[in-house]
Every structure is written in structure tokens, then in C-alpha cells.
Structure 1
Amino acid sequence: MAIEVIRDGADLPPAQVLAAVRAAFAALARGEAAQPAQLLVPLAGGGDVITYPGLVEPAGVYGVKVSPYLPQPGGPALVTAWTLLISLTTGEPVLLCDAKALTAQRTAATSALAVDLLARPGAATLAVIGGGPLARAHVRYARQVRPFTDIRVATRSGRVDLAAFTAEAGDVPVRAVASAAEAADGADVVLACTSAAQPVLDVAALPAGTVVTSISTNAPDAHEVDPAALAGLEVYCDHRPSATAAAGEMRLAVRRGLWSADAVRGDLAGLVGGSDPGPTGSRVVFFRSVGLGIEDIAIAGLLSRS
């Protein structure tokens, strides 16, 4: 048995990552992939382990990413992620990779794919809420799908590493602004890239046609937009069963009787495959991703061929 172990996640070309993620959702649309629900196992004393399984038949693999969240006394939590691919031909493992860095790439690529499918063709102004590696990766990937000419960044702390964002933005000017509301003012696309457990932006105040993406975290009921706002939005997600089960604002909105999961207008497989409708332009468009095993498989598959 030969298994390739990759400990250093390669900095893969964004165009290849986007193509691989799109292909995974196309396979899901054709019935050639399967996306089971993610499994969260709480740990005694705090923390959890999340498992992201997936099956992509054209790639010939079943895969699973395992991501522990381990609180540490007197310091930040320890977070790791490992993806394992199993051959559907031999039943043996073919790849094990450190997926922590790759998670940022697949998350940003998924958001960028949503922007490509949902945003106006001439979208030029990009707002980013968040200042960490995920936010910077979102800038890198969003630039692959729309000709942005203005990028604004806001953080909850007010600190923005402009040099780091400029490195991702190429020749597009990047500005640090004082608030999420200022960043979103007049923006065509707003990328929320925080670990917030409370709303970071009043999406209801945005003009119709604005696309807002959200990742948040898998902490219980974590959310970046007000659950009460969902009823007034055109809501899309990465995968209907997964997002409606895990996304905090969706869970809260359903629990409070403010919104129904049946109101999700489309997901990425449906949009890529053409079975779900695009935005009407009459409301703000909200896209929510929670992270999927088929995305992790797509990225790991690129590593195994690099």
C-alpha cells in the first residue's frame, strides 16, 4: 500500500482551484458525487471534532477531512485539519494531507464560485469584512471572477494589514475603512470573512442586487447576518441540506419562525447544473457556505497531481 503524505499545503494556482471546485459541484449536479452531512462531535470540557465526508466518482475517490478544535488553557485554541483520500478502485488510502492552509483556499474558491454565478457581470466594487488569512484569500479568488477596480476592507478591531491585502489585490487599489457599513456602501459584492457569532453587517440596508457571501464558523449558531433579515433576501448556499443544518442564522431563523429552509433559492450544484434559478435583481442576494467534503476532495486531488 502506497499512501502519499503531504504536510505542507501547496499554494495552488487559483484558476486550477476554482476549476476543480466547479467540477466537483458539476459532478454533484449530475449525480456523480455525494455530499453527506458534516458530523460535529463535541468534546468533554469544550472543543469539538468536525468531519467533512464526500464522494466524487469521476475522481475515483472517497474522501474525508477531519478538523479538531481543541481549546488550550491560557492560550488560543489548537485547530488542525487533515484530508484523507481513499481509492474507489483498490479501497486503499492514496493521499493524506495537512489541510489547514488548503481550507482557506477551498473556502475562498467556493465564495468566488458563488460570486461568479450570482453577481452582476460588471461588478467592480468589492467590500471585505475581516482581516485574516481567509479574508485575504477571498480577495485573491474573487479577483479571478470579476473585474474589480476598488477594494475596501473593514475589520472589527479597526486594524488592517494593507500590505498583505495589496499583495493579493495585484494592481487593484485597496482601502482600509472604518466600518463594515462604510465598506459595503456602494459595493457590488460584500465578502464577510469573520469568526463572528453576531451580525457584522446590516444586509437589509443594502441595495437590491448586492451579493453578500458569509462563511462565519461552525460554533453553535454562529452567524454574520441577522437571522431576521433572511426573509427579505434571495438566499443561496453551497449545499442545501448541509447549510440549512449547520448555518447559525438559518437555524435561528427557522427556530424563531422567521424563515423556512424551503425558501433557499438555490445551491451551487443547482446553479452550476442549471436546475436552480439565478437572482432576480429585486433583492439583496445572500450566499452562505458551511464547508463541504467534496470541496476538500477537489483540492486534495490537485495536490496529489501536483
Structure 2
Amino acid sequence: MTGLSRLSLNQATTKRWGVREAAEGCARAGIPWIGLWRDKVAETGLEESASIVRETGLKVSSLCRGGMFPATTKRERLDRLDDNRRAVDEAATLGTDVLVLVCGAAPGRDLRAARDEVEEAIETLAPYADEAGINLGIEPLHPAFAADRSVVCTLGEANGIVRRVGSPRVGVVIDAYHVWWDADLYTEIGRASGSILGFHVDDWPRGGGDPLLSRGMMGDGVIGLRRMREAVEDAGYEGPVEVEIFNEAIWAKPGEEVLETMKRRYLEHVLGEVPAGGSA
């Protein structure tokens, strides 16, 4: 794996850009992939977003997000399944084959029930996704997000759901920020062989802060990104590598500057290559 051929900008990294700005920015910067978010696509319009991607010659690595399955009532759960079917259709229109699932929090205090609801919903959604040619990527989130974003907190839990559901359309998305701390990480990456649908890179800076908005640019934290990338590849994943960073300081910078830094840090800290002009 060399160069930028697999590098993808996840739209979260340039949050202030719409679909057109992000796609045209990637095209100018020589970044061949983009990961889109449904809210940004909705702002631009689904068909217009798909047209922009085609015009710029980019490939869409994924659409985020589906999921958020648990709810307090059966009606709410059915509504959320309907929204996920719409997300599957949107992914197909945009030309990606991966819908990222952020599975959702427990509406009450019953984590076990919420996890059962997540698995049941994915099992229900899988045939619809299969008909559309879309893969469902379960993204485990760091335990700090268990209360409000995802009751699936480890790669091991996500792997378990994949195996029990048993659909070739259901796999995992591995985000370095969310899983780097797990003592079983490399065992579980190996266990995920054949079902890895995405790999996201970013970093965990020292010093704490808001878990949601404290992601660092690659090289600004403690994660062994090169080792993790090698393990994911050893497990058979050869797809795009998305840079997904939620950070107010990065959002405040000009998007073009962010993309140039992102490219250099990706080459140096994810691929282990020496970027032209040195590191930044």
C-alpha cells in the first residue's frame, strides 16, 4: 500500500463544507475518495450530491450514518427501521456500497435489551440491504459514548453480531479512535477477517477533553496507526481509509489547509512513508 490511492476524506473532518465544497476540495487535492454524511447530502439534495460526486470523479467510500435502532416504543423502532431503509436507498444512489451503522443508545437503563434491539434490527434490515447491494458496517464506539450514541462498544461485540446475523452484507467498520485501547483489539481484528467494511483513522491526544470533539489529526496522539493499518490489511481489508476527525480547532481552519495536512499525516503516520516536503 503506497501513496494516496486509498485515502478518503470523511466529511466530518471538514464539517463546514457542503458536499460540493468537499468534493471539489478533494479533487483539487488529489484525494480520490470521499465519505459522505446524510445531513450534508440532505442539505445539497440527494440527486445533486450524486451528480457532484460524478462530476468530480470521486468514489464514495461510505455513507454515514444509519443505525440508532433502540427506542422506547415499537412504533419508534419501526420508524427507525424505515429511516435505515431510506439510508440504504441513499447509499445506492450515491454509488457507495457501505452504510455505516452507529447503532444507538439505550433509551432507558437496560443495556442488554438495547443490544438485543440493535441485533434484531440489523437482522431485519439485512435482506433489504442485500437487494440494494449495500453492506451494513457496524461501527463500535468507545465506551464513553455508550450512554448517548452506541451500546456496541467493542470490536468483539460487533464481531459477535456479525457472526450471529450471518449475512454476507453485515460487517464491521473499524475506527482507530474508538478501539485503540482494547486489549483484545488485534485478536478481534483477526477475527473480523473477511467482514471488515471500512477503516477510519484519526488520533487520541493526551490530556482528555470532550470525547466527541477531541479527536486529533494523525500523529497528534497515542494511537499506533501504522500497526493497526497493517493488522487490518492482514485481515484482508484493501478498501479506502477514511480520515474522520471531530475537532472544533480543525473545523476552524481553511479546508484546503486541513486536506494538505491530512495527506502528509496519512502518508507519515498511517503508511509509514516520508511525505514530500517533510512532516507537518
Q: What is the TM-score of this pair, normalised by structure 2?
A: 0.31
More strand by share: 1
Q: Which has the higher contact order (CA 8 A, sep 6+)?
A: 1
TM-score normalised by structure 1 residue count: 0.30
Structure number with higher helix proportion: 2
Choose 1 or 2 for highest CA Rg. 1
